[in-house]
Amino acid sequence: MGADELVADVPVAAGSAVAGTATRGRVRAGVLYGVAAYGLWGFFPVYFRAIRQVPPLEIVCHRVIWSLAFLLILMALRGGWRATRAAVRSRRNVVTLGATTLLIAGNWLVFIWAVAHDQVLEASLGYFINPLVNVVLGFVFLHERLRRWQLLSVGLAAAGVAYLTLAGGHLPGVALFLAGTFASYGLLRKIAQVDALVGLTVETALLAPLALAYLAYQMAHGTISFGHGALRVDGLLLLAGVVTAAPLLWFTEAARRLRLTTMGFLQYMTPTGHFLLAVFAFGETFRWTQGVAFACIWAALATYLLEAATRARAGPAVSLPPGME
């Protein structure tokens, strides 16, 4: 979604009471949509933990297939076929969406694996780092200038990751993979300039043949979980399409109504939810070495967000990092 489609959540001119009321209502609706989207994403570990007995790759396949079914229904209701045809007529878009398909599939797979193997805390670290990786990718590939406070933010985040690596003796691989794949996904989707619903539909359509082939292979060898376990698990797998698409649609509605800066603040609900669930619900150990790393990351994010808020008050709304528009 391009920035030109978004509406800033600022008051309208004095004397226009009706327009002002409409704008405030639009902003309130946008905040509700944003909280719903980021809140549901924040509770994703609860959903995937409930089906942790299913192999992660099978879960991804179900997520692809049922998401595609749900998205095709939405496309039919919204009349999005013209936009889809226009998107796939561009060879550049097809190649770009092919790459984003691989990135998002890898991101889904590793996140589901992390939940099943009690690595939600490290996964949350990855999504806290993600906006700062976006800044670096924007600098490298889009030639965006890094301001002084952004450089400080990236430096603090790098220090946190370096400390965690030295103290633990290994790189936080899950965190870095999730941050890197999602940031790269956002960068390529920004380049493709394809509507969120159309893009996700094309991506799931590209993955669907592979997903169906893998499930057919499992079925032929009697190793498939779906239909051979608890009805509760089968029902949760069938919900994968709604669980995947609903927050994306809510996010889109929020982005149409709110300033980009507001969306930037709301996005941290997701890794915060992951962090709280990992420590207080799932009982993952929060070691002091992780505490130092998280402190560096949170200081980096605070610096980044304060600088963004200051610039927003001084002038036009700042843009979200790639992948969050």
In our burial notation (b when 16+ CB lie closer than 10 A, e otherwise), range 33-51 reads bbebbbebbbebbebbbeb
φ, ψ of residue 232 to 5 degrees: the values are -60, -45
pLDDT at residue 47 in the model: 96
Distance CA 48, CA 73 (A): 24
Distance CA 132, CA 301 (A): 8
Distance CA 100, CA 189 (A): 7
pLDDT at residue 261 in the model: 63
Check if the beta carbon of residue 259 is closer than 8 Å to that of residue 31: no
Q: What is the CA radius of gyration of the chain?
A: 20
φ, ψ of residue 264 to 5 degrees: the values are -65, -35
Count, in order, helices (H) and strands (E) of the chain: 14, 0
pLDDT at residue 260 in the model: 64
Helix (H, G, I), strand (E, B) or coil at 138: helix
φ, ψ of residue 8 to 5 degrees: the values are -75, 140
Distance CA 296, CA 2 (A): 32
pTM above 0.95, yes or no: no
Select from 34, 322, 35 the least CA-distant residue to 179: 322
pLDDT at residue 249 in the model: 82
| CA distance from start to end of the chain | 6
pLDDT in tens, 227-259: 887 899 999 999 998 998 889 888 878 877 887
pLDDT in tens, 187-229: 898 888 788 888 889 999 999 999 999 999 999 999 999 988 7
Residue 212 CB-half CA count within 13 A? 11
Select from 137, 125, 114 the least CA-distant residue to 163: 125
DSSP string, 88-136: HH-HHHHHHHHHHHHHHHHHHHHHHHHHHTT-HHHHHHHHHHHHHHHHH
Residue with tokens 């570990």: 45
pLDDT at residue 131 in the model: 82
Helix (H, G, I), strand (E, B) or coil at 63: helix
Distance CA 132, CA 127 (A): 10
> Token pair for residue 146?
């890094």
Residue with tokens 């498939």: 224
Give every residue of the chain whose pLDDT is below 70, as ranges.
1-20, 22, 260-261, 312, 314-325
pLDDT at residue 19 in the model: 59
Distance CA 123, CA 129 (A): 10
Check if the beta carbon of residue 75 is closer than 8 Å to that of residue 197: yes
